[in-house]
Structure 1
Amino acid sequence: MSREPASALGAAFLALADLLLPAPCAGCGLDGERWCAACRERWRSPALLDLPGLPPVLALAPYAGRAREVLLAYKERGRRELARPLAGLVVEALRAGAVPPAALVPAPSRPSAARARGGDHVLRLARAVVAGRSGPAPPRLPVDGSSSTALRLPCVSRALALGRGAADAVGLDAAARADNLARHLRVRPRGLPPPGCAVALLDDVLTTGATARAATSLLAAAGRPVDVVVVLTVADPRAPRTLIRASPVGRAGGHPPGGRHAG
């Protein structure tokens, strides 16, 4: 079965399930709505974070309260249906920040964690973002100088992977996270974005910034500098931020590409 019929079948099943057994809101637990309007509204004020050693970081919500509950429901509690509405909010933030159509690189999960969750949740989100952002005729980028072979943008580029020996980052401090990533995060050459296109790194939560720094450094060393890091949530409430609506990011705005920031 192809992905499209399977997705349609899954959507139909969820619609039927909503009629028969309405799921509670993933954020506040309100009966009858999978994600109520009040909880979703908390994600509609994306901000730019100014963090050392990173390109502009676009964050949708703080990792706290109802937003945290929604993320945990999607990531750890099997609420896969949240991928589409979360992706829709990412698309809104990208458009508000004038981020150009880009190759979206998902931050990888540990293989064991992805299996336990029934799949890589950030990869699933990235695919939903691209599906939501692609228009009837998305931009095409020539590959290898040939106008007959072109890649449509936006797209998902699985350019990064975590080795089997990577430790769970929960409970690790910044130094331990950086060491863990230095030993186990690697580039997948076949998954690299095509040269010259905008690149966005996607992750679910920014805690110490270790993952984003390791990933942007690896991609820059591979000749694919990151223009913007996009995270659903940010754990540090002290991170300096500005409203995204006032500060376009990436090559469409006033910030330099990410490769000049990577440390």
Structure 2
Amino acid sequence: MTTGDGDASPRWRGGGSWAAAFADLVVPLECAGCGRPRQRWCPDCASTLSAVPLTVRTRADLRIPVWALSRHTGPAALAVSAYKDRGRTDLARPLGAALAAAVDRLRADGEIAEADERPTVLVPAPASARARRRRGFDHVRQVVDVLAAELAGAVPTGPVVVAPVLEVRGRVRDAAGLGAQARADNLSGRIRRRPAGTPLRATPGAPVTVPALLATPSTVLLVDDVVTTGATAAQCVAVLEAGGLRVTGVLAVTAA
């Protein structure tokens, strides 16, 4: 991968980390979905994210397709919760890989363009600064980096871009328990475009600046961990399209 802000992150290369290895020694390893010992994510739980992506109907007004790997229940929901709120950052890899398999399936089914037809642009749904501090990392961005690496290493390949062009500004409430209208009000005016100079991570042949991205016909996917009412996705899509970036669809790990 080439990058607009220095050398590619190790996450793009798919390596582990000494911190994860140390954690394995301190905390007994168990499957995030079922608790099976000595496995991070067992084959049975992994199979819950390997079916045909679901087409999701949201309460928010989204006029583009919304896809999810699973309903937010069972092992899938437990894995997402463990990943973003209980320190299981090792789950970024299987979740990102499952999303990549879903992209392959959507291409095969003619839902989105093939890899070699146009660049694939992945826009991470933004988290508030408060949420990032609480978790210690940007949970959606980390999964998107894995997703991008998986797509870039696939055959046939095509240009891939990670475009972190959205941010949350101002104070927002925890969305848990909020209804569709309350979620929309909570985010109204707070999701905004980042400056045009925001660096993009891109493979060779892909746009490496925001102006170039806007001028290049692409498959643009907004990626999130969970779609609930669709309020967050709708706000993100509206901001992206107001800035000239046409969104193809929304892709999430689960749908509540």
Aligned residue number for residue 166 of structure 1: 172
Structure 2: gaps of 5 or more residues = 1-5, 114-118, 199-209
Q: Choose which of 52, 55, 59 in structure 2 pairs with 1:48.
A: 55
User: Who is 1:59 aligned against?
Assistant: 68
RMSD, matched Cα: 2.6
Q: Secondary structure at the match of 2:188?
A: helix
Task: Compute the TM-score of the two structures, normalised by the length of structure 2.
Answer: 0.78
Q: Deviations over 1:213-249 (max 9, x none)?
A: 11111111111111010010000xxxxxxxxxxxxxx
For 2:250, the equivalent position in structure 1 comes to 229
1:94-138 CA distance string (max 9 Å, x none)? 001103441100111110111111111001111111111103895
Residue 71 of structure 1 corresponds to: 80
Equivalent runs, 1:181-196 vs 2, <5 Å: 181-190=187-196, 191=198, 192=210, 193-195=213-215, 196=217
Structure 1 residue aligned with 2:39: 33
Local SS of the residue matching 1:86: helix
Q: CA deviation at 1:183?
A: 2.6
Q: 1:53, CA displacement in angstroms?
A: 2.4
Aligned residue identity for 1:207: T
Note the 1:182-221 alignment, pairs <5 A: 182-190=188-196, 191=198, 192=210, 193-195=213-215, 196-221=217-242
Judge conservation of contact 2:14–2:146 (CA < 8 Å) in 1. no
Contact 1:163 1:184 in 2 (8 A): yes
- Aligned partners of 1:157, 1:215: CA distance in 2, in Å? 13
CA distance in 1, matches of 2:47, 2:255: 17
1:42: Cα distance to partner? 0.7
Deviation at 1:202, TM superposition (A): 0.3
C-alpha contact (below 8 Å) 1:112/1:164 kept by paired residues? no
Runs of 5+ unmatched residues, structure 1: 140-152, 236-263
- The answer as to whether partners of 1:103 and 1:197 remain within 8 angstroms in 2 is yes
* Count of aligned positions: 222
Q: Percent identity?
A: 37
1:23 aligns with 2:29: yes
Following TM superposition, by how much is the alpha carbon of 1:18 offset from its aligned partner in structure 2, in angstroms?
5.0
CA 138–180 in structure 1, closer or farther in 2 if over 3 Å, else same: same
1:28 match: secondary structure? coil
Distance in 1 separating the partners of 2:254 and 2:12: 29
Amino acid at match of 1:156: V
Q: Is 1:103–2:103 an aligned residue pair?
A: no
Q: Deviations over 1:59-82 (max 9, x none)?
A: 101101211100001010111111
Partner SS for 1:42: helix
For residue 141 of structure 2, the aligned residue among 117, 120, 123 is: 123
